[in-house]
Structure 1
Amino acid sequence: MTIREVMEIVDGKVLVGADRLDERVDTACGSDLMSDVLAFVKEKAVLITGLINPHVLRTSEMLDITCIVFSRGKMPSEEMLEMAEEIGITVISSPLTTYTACGELYVHGLPGTKRKTGVKEGV
């Protein structure tokens, strides 16, 4: 799937990286916990989050995340947008909730990670 397709599926608006809309993404992750993102995300991923702070960008840079979708219409600061541009991460704002954006992307064929958490059922 391309970032352009992601943008269309989540009814998003590109804030940074309009020149990178034809780049491919392989997986998606929805989380506000960057420790979970660090544990389960692979490169060429889309991160869907409602968390707006520079730590999201730093984590994304370390993992080679291609695109960040800020859910619930959240708008990052100008400083964050400048940082995203410098490191080459496309930023999209979507009016959808994180859960709905993840569901729409999954239904349209963008998988999540196949890694298991190791947490037993019912715990």
Structure 2
Amino acid sequence: MKLSKVRELLDAKVCAGEGRMQELEVKEACGSDLMSDVLAFVKEQGLLLTGLQNLQVVRTAEMMDMEAIVFVRGKMPTEEMIQIAEKKGIVLMSTGLPMFTACGTLYQNGLAGGKAGDFGE
């Protein structure tokens, strides 16, 4: 799914990486406020949805080679987060939707999540 479609579906505001919206495509996404879970379980998700609003979110996405972060519940990244994301080529967006609704909307429109076996279940 193109990130421009993610923005449209979630009615999201782009905070960083506007120029990369048309070119980037993500195949899987994950939603989490626990960056330790993202580090432990995320494999090929290119999109992170989170309500956590700190620098560790951008650093985690960078370490996991994620293309984009969507902040849910109207959370907005700080200026420092925006600067680092721009430098690292990570798209940042913000949506007013809650996590459950945002993840469900993307899933319902064809964006996959991790498989149960990926999480040790």
Q: Fold conserved (TM > 0.5)?
A: yes
Q: Which residue of 1 aligns with 2:99?
A: 98
1:38-88 deviations in whole A, cap 9, x for unaligned? Answer: 122234511000000011011100111101000011011111110110111
Q: Which residue of 1 aligns with 2:4?
A: 4
Q: Which residue of 2 aligns with 1:52?
A: 53
Q: Is the 8 A contact 1:40 1:115 kept in 2?
A: no
1:67 aligns with 2:68: yes
Q: Which residue of 2 aligns with 1:21?
A: 21
| Alpha-carbon distance in 2 for matches of 1:55, 1:20 | 22
Q: Which residue of 2 aligns with 1:30?
A: 31
Q: Tell which structure's C-alpha radius of gyration is larger.
A: 1
Tell me by how many angstroms 1:118 deviates.
2.7
Identity %: 54
Tell me by how many angstroms 1:30 deviates.
0.3
Tell me by how many angstroms 1:97 deviates.
0.5
| Alpha-carbon distance in 2 for matches of 1:56, 1:40 | 15
Aligned residue pair count: 119
Q: What amino acid is aligned across from residue 79 of structure 1 in structure 2?
A: E
Q: Which residue of 2 aligns with 1:86?
A: 87
More helix by share: 2
Q: Is the 8 A contact 1:15 1:81 kept in 2?
A: yes
Q: Mind listing any 5+ residue stretches in structure 1 that lack a counterpart?
A: none
Q: 36-45 or 98-107, which moves further after superposition?
A: 36-45
What is the TM-score of this pair, normalised by structure 1?
0.92
Q: Is the 8 A contact 2:49 2:71 kept in 1?
A: yes
TM-align CA RMSD: 1.1
Distance 1:91-1:24 versus aligned 2 partners, 3 A rule: same
Distance 1:115-1:40 versus aligned 2 partners, 3 A rule: farther
Q: Mind listing any 5+ residue stretches in structure 2 that lack a counterpart?
A: none
